[in-house]
Structure 1
Amino acid sequence: MRHPSTLPRLLILLISLSVAAPAMAANSDGASVYTIGVLAFRDAEETTAQWQPTADYLSTQVDAAEFRIQALNYPDLEQAVATGDVDFVLTNTGHYVRLEAQQGITRLATLIAEEQGQPIRQFGGTILVLDERNDLQSLDDLRGQRLLAVEEDSLGGWLAGYGALRDAGVEPFEDLASVHYTGMPHYRVLEGVLTGEADAGMVRTGVLEERLQSGELPADTLRVLAPRKTAGFPFAHSTRLYPEWPFSRLGHTPDQLAEAVTIALLSLPADHPAAREGGYHGWSAPLSYAAVHELLEELGRPPYDRTVAITLRAYWEARPDVLLGFMAGLLLLSGLAALYYRRLTRRLSLEVEQRRAAEGRLRAHEARLAYQAGHDPLTGLPNRTLLQEHLDEAMQQASQREGLVAILFVDLDRFKNINDSLGHRVGDDLLQILGERLKTRFKARTVARIGGDEFIAVIDDAAEHQELEARARQLLELIAEPFAVGGWTNLQVGASIGIALFPEDATEAGELLTQADAAMYEAKDAGRNTFRFYRTALTDAANQRLEIENRLRHALVQNELEVFYQPQVHMTSGKITGIEALVRWRDPERGLIAPDVFIPLAEETGLITAIGDFVLREACRQVVEWDRQGLPPLEVSVNLSARQVAAPGLLHQLRQVLHESGLPAQRLTLELTESTLMEQADTTRGTLQQIKGLGIALAIDDFGTGYSSLAYLKEFAIDILKIDQTFVRDLPEDRNDAELAMTIIDMAHNLGLDVLAEGVETQAQRAFLAAQGCDAWQGYLCSRPLPAASLARLVNDHEPEPFARRTPVKAAMAPRRHLRS
């Protein structure tokens, strides 16, 4: 292909600049809404739903910017890029290379896909044949055979395989019997091979495994022809690998915005909802797409499609007048260019220097981003992503030399107490000092921080258990050395360590980390500040927890949860004036399951939010139903979990429940634990104040068992303190419990709060609490928690037992509407 001479190229450059300049100015309007054009090779609505969470994530990370998704097909996306109607582009690898060459877009980050629970940055093509075709064992065997592919522009579904066939000496359009394209999706190719439409088919890597895993394709039906195995890549493939989708910017997109978007993408955690909804692991620094350029150029595909060459002699013989005119124009342009040449040379020299400086800054920035993507910002230790790479490498090397790799999973003991009592600044300083200790004084292949107060040490130079035990003890001693932080000179912490071994315990990195985590929890159960090796029984316990979690999810769908109610009795009148709503699980196979079995698991997994919503709605509905049945008006108390308090839609939900049920807000009390109130005080202060504004009362449940704060009781205008049953159980005999109960009651009344005692089981306990001025009580002395029908019968049959009580000294400080009626 011939290249134009210098002067025509200069003419084309000048014309292009004159056309492009106004468009660029028009696009630089400083708008706060930015559009991400996404290639929709599926349904547009499905594509938008997949990527909008990522756009929402960017909106939260980039100041004064809002991002939206525009799902477009190939032609519409190319038109939007050409006209500058989008600011960023997310498209497949082959399409990006074309747009890069034709429109000048620039990649900012590369997608990290998630396959079989592990991050991958590449994909390739797979050539499939029927497993029974013993005559097809190599790419050369495809000569004279029929082939199905996805479409001409599909990198994994055709182009990669096309290149692999040519490398093997097979020219598809000459040596094969036929080549046909099925169009999207890739599954059409599999179906065509299975039905005998073709002898072989080309698809993207992962398509075969996805169908096998879903059960839609029987095993041993199709096999990969000429399979390749690549370390760190989970799928067998017939071609070389290429980088995943790039996230790109257009030329008019502001540099500061592009930089902020790049940092946000590279900082996206793997467990973020945007990654889960998008079906990927995260983002990496931009990868090289040179291999894709080479393939497209080799195959003559856009932007490297061949053009017909026209010789100068042929054009002279056909149109000499046009050529003479063109040459005269070139001579004139040469004269003008000579006059402008010196000024242009100076300008270009300045631009070259500026570009070199910018490229230097960009390389330094990319290096910083690459470091940040693999390291913990607080301690500078490797993070989970880099740990995964180091662990995979250590396991591969250990397999070659038949050695072992040990994972030491470290979790600091009661580190939360330091954050709660001394502040997060002190906790962060302590973690920084500990990170430096581990980095410089503990011998390990890798020491990483994977979050919070959790660290991982990878040891690959120990030959036996005794040596690992010595290293674990050394690690405990190193952590136990005093810390000088926050004004403390001798602050100490302990740690619990779980140890798992490769290949003795597991052969996969993720499974090894899970087993070490389980062993760490066993060390905590053993008294903390010790270590434990992994045992198979720990996996059994984890599996049991997983089974309970799955059954609990099923129970939510199948309405197996019930609400029981325990009466709350007014101390003086002896009347049942309120109830506490408590959830119960009636499993069809195991019967009634105790809350202490599934509530902690629900807290960990987030299911507690759905359970709490169910209890709130059912309890409010049931109280109104009892009103219709003629029962005395009852106030209802509902427990509020920490996750519910932090949920942004809590206030809307409360208004909706009260409106739908018809329950007056003054008859609803929400109970929070002390830990929830203190840990989330800063983030939930406004929410709790708005709840109070609705007329709903607030109660502190299990008061005295946590880190009580009188300032919080006053700030959040708490209405009721509930004395925990641990302080009631030994009343009135235990002197310490008696003094503590009296102190709580007097303190609460002095603050204008009501007091309700939990776990009252004897008349002696009730009499003591009444004598101290306690306002109300609940417990087995009146009734266990009951189903709705049984509770209604209890209220109807209840005979009040009035009981004299001491009048609080400062009862007149604040009116109480809940327990002193």
Structure 2
Amino acid sequence: MKWLPRTLVLAVMLLPSLPGAVAGAPDGATTVDIGVLAVREASAAEARWQPTADYLTEAVGEDFGVRFRMRAMNYPELEDAVAGEEIDFVLTNTGHYVQLEYAHGISRLTTLIASHEGEPVRLFGGVIFTRADRDDITALEHIAGQHLFAVQEGSLGGWHAGHEALLDAGVDPREELAELTFTDMPHDRVVEAVLDGRADAGTVRTGVLDRMAGAGAFEPGELRVLEPRDTPGFPFEHTTRLFPEWPFSRMEHADEALANAVTVALLEMPEGHPASGAGEYFGWAAPLSYAPAHDLLERLGAPPYERNPALDPLLYWRENPAVTIALLLGLLALMAAATMRYHRINRDLGREVQQRREAETRLRRHEAELAHRASHDPLTDLPNRVLLTQRMRSAINTSAEDGGRVAILFLDLDRFKTINDSLGHQVGDELLKILAERLKDRVRANTIARLGGDEFIVLLDDVESLEALEERAREILAVIAEPFAVGGWRSLQVGGSLGITLFPDNGGSPEALITQADAAMYRAKAQGRNTYSFYSEDLTAAASERLETENHLREALKNGHLEVFYQPQIDLRERRVSGVEALVRWRDPDKGLISPGRFIPVAEETGLISPLGEFVLREACCQVVEWDRQGLPELSLAVNLSAHQMNDPALVARVREVLDSTGMDPGRLVLEMTETTLIQAEGSREVLLQLKGLGVALAIDDFGTGYSSLAYLKRFNIDWLKIDRAFVQDLPHDPNDAELTVTIINMAHNLGLEVLAEGVETEDQRSFLQTRYCDAWQGFLCSPPVPANELPQLLEDCEGGVAAAGVPR
């Protein structure tokens, strides 16, 4: 009858959940509690896991009118909360989950993917080890008669798994050890006991020895794992069999629709999301089977399968044979009396069994669907990065054995962003789906995967020659170049760029090969697009240089090697220096001033542009206030905002804090953004309105080089347009540039905007702009950007800020 409790639990899990459990309150969001196991301090556990709850709030909270909260609890507290239905979801370790599933019928939604050196780890086990100098302990059977240390009697990886391995080796830890000691958490105590000789051997969870060795807790080779196993794809040596990592589970009363949405959100969490970083994990997978953990605890008689000696039939038979016989005869009489009743309910039981089978079929179908979602791109149904990496590893291993070649082709559509921005993301998505079908139907490959956006990977494991590979690359480009009928267009055409790398010629791992193919793809774009390029080592050198620049830039931010220079802006109507634009400069102690063209692109790629931009804003506001204190003429201040800053939800709060802390007048601050940045921020119109609410002005930088759309000028409350230097440099001699410049000035004035021209270097350019009623200008004709301490002298050279021709004498 061992099957009965599990069957009842399964039946409970399959019952439909009660409606309205998390319905949103009219006056605010309902709190959904997630109980999480805290093996140490509750505050540390909540700090670790609350970002995951915040991610769920962001992903599904608005749709259901809820917000998620992590509540950290120890074992008894979490068990009480589950029994009292005080929480809606549960995140706990594998052994504890088995007990809660058995006792309360909670059901798993996903399985945690742990992280080891950036690699996903879905399983764990136990390690039994001793000191390397213990020549008398070389196998598990030698543990008999020794003093063994373990962390906790209820720990699955730290004790139960090791207990089973010893039983399999013929050693009963309860009978044949000299002594068994439990240290309590953390596992490090077990390792320390073995190292200092208090224990002959120890057992801990996998990964503990690797972590402590990496932290320098002991020297390499100081400890030896007994009877180590090596499982492909699992990064740790282990003595025991393996079990799935922590499950994320739902309580029976939790709303089913919300539970499904939570499941999908966790499975679709982007790789490298801040929540996974805070939680120190890789991500989430479709729920694995926890039957092996049930079987282990049942075999050991551990909770929830602990044996009661008083009710053990075999033991009772041995001690009380006469009473046992009498009980058996009575039981037989009861069974005979019940037989007549059983036939009446057989039909009902048959119906229940059929319903259970149907429910199990639906559950298996749902689990298969979740597993498919976890390994496939939701838009195109192509394999995603996870499945691609698995297939690449398999192809690499096969190629290494038979001496063949594997090719990775990194495909990126040319100017796909223009399609999204001009025709809409819905048209862009439809184009990607059509392209995916074309590639599947017409490209012969091991795998065709989508990494995201307009990036695809083609994996070829049958490369015969470079000539044949080039021919296949040209065929792929031809497939892409065929017209698309989408978004009302009958023959919309796009192109693509291909980067190609080879195993074993270049990289040896999936990650390295993808990185190399990506670099080769960018070279193909630089060579004119709609072509292909092979990877070479010089691309790695360029990537290394970018990485070195990134590391040095981080140090520069930390060590104060960045400065702010200021370029004057001239008011053409009043003919005076009316403002300055703040521009960051990097003064390296060894290399001197480093060109912004070298480090600004790296900062934008790596996200360092956000702290760099905040530094410039704060430093420039402080400087303007200091100039006011020195009695300089009142100047406006222009500061650039990057796309990263515009997408930061804390941007408005940071700008407000800088204005308050520095005392800067908001009315003199102009925040500049490019047309591209503004388009990307269109979904955050409220942010721009809040910035305007602070009293600052908004400007479009480099106008004319991006989308040049009147739509966003109307949608957003813009104050200034800055004409890009590309239109100014050939004034007044180039009639096309002259016409475009005049058109921009007139259009801006008709919309009530002011205009500033950038890159003015000649008196002819300045005079042309003045006669066409441009409002202001900046450029080398007045001054290049200068350090803060040189600006007072520059203003003095301009006759106290007023110049007859708008430039210094």
Q: Residue in 1 aligned with 2:731?
A: 731
Match of 1:801 in 2: 803
Write the distance in 2 (CA, Å) between the matches of 1:48 and 1:485: 48
1-structure distance, mates of 2:621, 2:565: 13
Secondary structure of 1:759 counterpart: coil
Q: CA 1:528 to 1:25, structure 2 compared with 1: closer, same or farther past 3 Å?
A: closer
Structure-2 separation of matches of 1:423 and 1:589? 48
Deviates more, 1:599-608 or 1:54-63: 54-63
Aligned pairs for 1:693-772 (under 5 A) are 693-772=693-772
Secondary structure at the aligned position of 1:711 is classed as helix
Displacement of 1:695: 2.5
State how far apart, in whole Å, the 2-side matches of 1:381 and 1:132 are: 53
Measured after TM superposition, the shift of residue 660 of structure 1 is 2.0
User: In structure 2, do the counterparts of structure 1 residues 179 and 537 end up closer, same or farther at CA, with 3 Å as the change threshold?
Assistant: farther
- Could you say which residue in structure 1 is the equivalent of 2:221? 220
1-side partners of 2:788 and 2:469: how far apart? 57
Distance 1:131 1:700, change over 3 A: same
Question: How many angstroms apart in 2 are the aligned matches of 1:474 and 1:26?
Answer: 54
User: Any conservation in 2 of the 1:569–1:578 contact (CA below 8 Å)?
Assistant: yes
State how far apart, in whole Å, the 1-side matches of 2:638 and 2:19 are. Answer: 60
Q: How far off is 1:515 after superposition?
A: 1.6
CA contact (8 A) 2:317 2:324 kept: no
Report the counterpart of residue 777 of structure 1 in structure 2. Answer: 777
Q: For residue 386 of structure 2, what is the amino acid of its counterpart?
A: T
SS of corresponding position for 1:604: helix
CA distance in 2, matches of 1:302, 1:102: 10
The answer (yes or no) to whether the contact 1:116–1:234 under 8 Å persists in 2 is no
1:54 corresponds to which of 52, 55, 73 = 52
What is the correspondence of 1:108-507 to structure 2 with a 5 Å cutoff?
A: 108-309=109-310, 311=316, 351-507=352-508
- Alpha carbons of 1:356 and 1:323: their partners in 2 closer, same or farther (altered >3 Å)? closer
Q: Secondary structure at the match of 1:569?
A: strand
Q: Distance in 1 between matches of 2:656 and 2:98?
A: 53
Q: Is the 8 A contact 2:570 2:806 kept in 1?
A: no
Q: 1:232 to 1:318 in 2, by over 3 A?
A: closer
User: What is residue 27 of structure 2 aligned with on the other side?
Assistant: none
Within 2, Cα distance between the matches of 1:243 and 1:368? 19
In the alignment, is the contact (CA less than 8 A) between 2:576 and 2:806 conserved in 1? no
* Match in the other structure for 1:83: 84
Amino acid at match of 1:361: R
User: Is the Cα contact below 8 Å between 1:572 and 1:803 reproduced in 2?
Assistant: no
Q: How far apart, in 1, do the equivalents of 2:711 and 2:318 lie? A: 95
With over 3 angstroms needed to count, the CA separation of the structure-2 counterparts of 1:81 and 1:752, relative to structure 1, is closer
1:1-20 matches, within 5 Å, as: none
Is the Cα–Cα contact under 8 Å of residues 571 and 806 in structure 2 kept in the other structure? no
CA distance in 2, matches of 1:439, 1:466: 23
**Equivalent-residue separation in structure 2 for 1:484 and 1:58 (angstroms):** 37
1:184 & 1:804 partners in 2: Cα distance?
74
Q: Answer yes or no: is the 8 Å Cα contact 1:316–1:323 preserved in 2.
A: no
- RMSD of aligned residue pairs (Cα, Å): 3.1
Quote the Cα distance in structure 2 between the aligned partners of 1:763 and 1:528.
Answer: 40
On the 8 A contact 1:770/1:804 being kept in 2, the answer is no
Counterpart contact for 2:127–2:204, Cα < 8 Å: yes
* Contact 1:571–1:802 (CA under 8 A) maintained in structure 2: no
Query: Residue 312 of structure 1: CA displacement?
Result: 8.5
Kindly state the Cα deviation for residue 341 of structure 1 after the two structures are TM-superposed.
7.6
- CA 1:209–1:347: 2 relative to 1, 3 Å: same
Between the aligned partners of 1:273 and 1:462, the Cα distance in structure 2 is 39
**For 2:718 and 2:57, how far apart are their aligned partners in 1?**
36
Shift, 1:769, TM fit: 1.5
CA separation of 1:349 and 1:628: change in aligned 2, threshold 3 A: same
User: Partners of 2:350 and 2:55 in 1: how far apart?
Assistant: 41
Aligned in 2, Cα 1:562/1:471: closer, same or farther, shift over 3 Å? same
The Cα of 1:402 is off from its aligned counterpart by 2.8
- CA drift of 1:242 comes to 0.9
Which stretch shows the higher mean deviation, 773-782 or 257-266? 257-266
Once the two structures are TM-superposed, the CA of residue 657 in structure 1 deviates from its matched residue by 2.1
Query: Which residue identity lines up with residue 290 of structure 1 in the other structure?
Result: A
- Contact 1:771 1:804 (C-alpha < 8 Å) held by counterparts: no
Deviations 1:723-777 (A, max 9, x none): 1112222222323222222222222222222111111112222122212222211
Q: Structure 2 vs 1, CA of residues 679 and 88 (structure 1 numbering), >3 Å: closer, same or farther? A: closer
Q: Deviations over 1:699-741 (max 9, x none)?
A: 1111111110123223323221111112222222323222222
User: Aligned to 1:700, what secondary structure does the other structure show?
Assistant: strand
Task: Describe the superposition over 1:138-171 as per-residue Cα deviations: whole angstroms up to 9, x where unpaired.
Answer: 3234344432221211121122122112212233
Partner letter of residue 483 of structure 2? Answer: P
Sequence identity, in percent? 57
Q: Give how far 1:381 is off.
A: 0.8
- Per the TM alignment, residue 578 of structure 1 is displaced from its structure 2 partner at its CA by 0.4
Measured in 2, the distance between the counterparts of 1:239 and 1:73 equals 27
Distance in 2 between residues matched to 1:248 and 1:490, nearest whole Å: 49
Q: Is the 8 A contact 2:643 2:680 kept in 1?
A: no
Q: 1:815 corresponds to which residue?
A: none
Change (3 A) 1:27 1:686: closer
One-letter amino acid of the structure 2 residue matched with residue 50 of structure 1: R
Comparing 347-356 and 550-559, the one that deviates more? 347-356
Task: Give secondary structure in 1 for the equivalent of 2:505.
Answer: coil
Aligned counterparts of 2:692 and 2:21: Cα–Cα separation in 1: 48
Using the size of structure 2 for normalisation, the TM-score is 0.90
Partner residue, 1:619: 620
Give, in whole Å, the separation in 2 of the partners of 1:262 and 1:345.
Answer: 38
Q: Could you tell me how far 1:130 is from its partner in structure 2?
A: 2.8
Length-normalised TM-score, structure 1: 0.89
Measured against aligned partners, the alpha-carbon deviations of 1:650-691 in whole angstroms (never above 9, x if no partner) come to 22222222222222221111111111122322x122222332
Instruction: Name the aligned partner's letter for residue 641 of structure 2.
Output: L
AA aligned opposite 1:89 = V
Structure 1 alignment gaps of length 5 or more:
18-23, 806-821
Specify which of 32, 35, 56 is matched with residue 33 of structure 2.
35
1:343: how far off?
8.7
Change (3 A) 1:476 1:215: farther
After superposition, the Cα gap between the structure-2 partners of 1:451 and 1:130, relative to the gap in structure 1 and judged at 3 Å, is same
Distance 2:717 2:362 in 1: 54
Counterpart-to-counterpart distance in 2, 1:313 and 1:213: 54
Q: Deviations over 1:585-611 (max 9, x none)?
A: 222232222211111121122221111
Contact residue 110 and residue 267 of structure 2 kept, 8 A? yes
Report the counterpart of residue 585 of structure 1 in structure 2: 586
For 1:674 and 1:254, how far apart are their aligned partners in 2? Answer: 44
Instruction: After TM superposition, give the deviation of residue 201 of structure 1 in Å.
Output: 2.1
TM-superposed deviation, 1:342? 8.9
Q: Is the 8 A contact 1:92 1:246 kept in 2?
A: yes
Flag the 1:688–1:252 CA change in 2: closer, same or farther, 3 A: closer
- The amino acid of 1:277's aligned partner reads A
Q: Would you say the 8 A contact 1:631–1:796 is kept in 2?
A: no
- Contact 2:448–2:456 at 8 Å: present in 1 too? yes
Are the counterparts in 2 of residues 55 and 69 from structure 1 also a CA contact under 8 Å? yes
Residue 539 to residue 609, structure 1, CA distance change in 2 (3 Å): same
Contact 1:760 1:779 in 2 (8 A): yes
1:778 positional shift: 0.9
- Alpha-carbon distance in structure 2 between the residues aligned to 1:360 and 1:86: 29
The yes-or-no answer on 1:792 pairing with 2:792 is yes
Q: 1:198 to 1:457 in 2, by over 3 A?
A: same
- Aligned twin of 2:553: 552
Q: How many angstroms apart in 2 are the aligned matches of 1:317 and 1:130?
A: 54
Deviation at 1:344, TM superposition (A): 6.7
Cα offset, 1:516, TM superposition: 1.5
Structure 1's 615 and 432: CA in aligned 2 closer, same or farther, altered over 3 A? same
Quickly say closer, same or farther: Cα 1:131–1:488, change in 2 above 3 A: same
Shift of 1:53: 1.4
